[in-house]
Amino acid sequence: MTFALTFAYFFHAFGRNCAMKLARYALEGEAHYGILAGDDLADRLAGSPFGDGVPTGQMDDLAAARILNPVGSPRIFGLGYNYLAHIEETGRPVPEQPVLFMKPSTSAIGPDEPVLYPPHGENVHFEGELVVVIGKQARHVSEQEALDYVLGYTCGNDVSDRVLQRRESAFGCLLAGKGYDSFAPLGPVIATDIDPMDVRIRTRVNGVERQNSSTSRMHYSVPYIISYLSRYITLLPGDLIMTGTPEGVGPIKIGDVIEVEIDGIGILRNPVVADAGPWQS
């Protein structure tokens, strides 16, 4: 490879066997992408990994940087009721097709950024999830070729206001209960070599494990989800798909610290703080 080749060309030429971790970080007031080289160094990209990124060879010290949400202002697709044990704990029937919703880009935050607890919130829950990062445009792709359109995977937390969610769902919609600002923590990195068919997911609240499961227990697999979505919607580079949460979801409160850990990716940690903004009923 020469530096004349873009990151996207390199990645798609060598496919999913190209194992690396990508971080998006702020350093000296600017945001950059970099390929991790050890725990504290990143080989900075000129551009992004979604098309025009070129490795520069400049090594940045991540100890001096702030790790950001892996994709700036992403489109976020969410999937509900995708683990059989979670479906059972909710008392819902097993869905006959993927249950989909979207979260606004303003819900996306990065590691260590605070989850804002709404002033009107009554029962807000964590949901640890594997998140797919789309690497190239996908439309009408087969299940067999779906993973060829994936750049990598990251950790996610589909924070949900259950009271508002249920009120919306009663009328066949779902937005505000999932889309509150800060309700989509993401990170810390994009890992390109994760096996989405069988990877361990753990969620802890204040150090106490609340979820421990594997993506092998999904009702709809990652390739199926990508293929299904692409039947109806053109998936774009940088799109994120939150693939559903295992059993064990539960409430959070102001002062809690939530950790979502996925093998091969790392730990996404976020504190919960009060949103002091005004609220009018």
pLDDT tens per residue, the chain (281 residues)? 333 345 554 555 445 556 899 999 999 999 999 999 988 999 999 999 998 889 999 999 999 999 999 999 999 999 999 998 888 888 888 889 999 999 999 999 999 999 999 999 999 999 999 999 999 999 999 999 999 999 999 999 999 999 999 999 999 999 999 999 999 999 999 999 999 999 999 999 999 999 999 999 999 999 999 999 999 999 999 999 999 999 999 999 999 999 999 999 999 999 999 998 765 55
- The two structure tokens encoding residue 176: 């505000």
Specify which residues 61 forms β-bridges with: 41
How confident is the model at residue 32, as a pLDDT? 97
How confident is the model at residue 2, as a pLDDT? 31
How confident is the model at residue 41, as a pLDDT? 96
Cα 257 from Cα 259, distance rounded (Å): 7
On whether the CB atoms of residues 135 and 50 are closer than 8 A, the answer is yes
On whether the CB atoms of residues 252 and 210 are closer than 8 A, the answer is no
- Give the CA angle between residues 150, 152, 260 to the nearest 5°: 135
How confident is the model at residue 88, as a pLDDT? 86
Minimal CA–CA distance to 77: which of 229, 271, 279, 231?
Answer: 229
For tokens 């390109």, the residue is 192
How confident is the model at residue 269, as a pLDDT? 98
How confident is the model at residue 5, as a pLDDT? 44
Minimal CA–CA distance to 185: which of 150, 229, 155, 147?
Answer: 155
User: How big is the chain, counted in residues?
Assistant: 281
Confirm whether pTM is higher than 0.85.
yes
